[in-house]
């Protein structure tokens, strides 16, 4: 998750290309998907 945010931040510094990259990469959406997959694998507590 940290790598996704780091890549987004570094490439996002480039003026025009960074904005286009942000639209296509969507680091936060990727991170939410990763977190949901991880949570689904965890045992449920009652």
Q: Which residue has the tokens 């507590």?
A: 45
Which residues make Cβ contacts (< 8 Å) with residue 19, sequence separation at least 6?
12
- Distance, in Å, from the CA atom of 33 to the CA atom of 41, rounded to the nearest integer, reads 13
pLDDT at 20: 86
pLDDT at 34: 94
pLDDT at 8: 86
pLDDT at 39: 94
pLDDT at 4: 86
- Distance, in Å, from the CA atom of 13 to the CA atom of 1, rounded to the nearest integer, reads 19
| pTM for this model (two decimals) | 0.65
pLDDT at 23: 80
Query: In this predicted model, what pLDDT tens digit does every residue of 1-46 receive, in sequence order?
Result: 889 889 888 988 998 888 888 788 888 889 999 999 999 999 988 7
């Amino acid at each position: 998750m940290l790598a996704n945010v780091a890549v987004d931040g570094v490439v996002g510094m480039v003026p025009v290309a960074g904005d286009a990259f942000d639209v296509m990469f969507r680091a936060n959406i990727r991170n939410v998907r990763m977190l949901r997959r991880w949570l689904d694998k965890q045992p449920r507590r009652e």
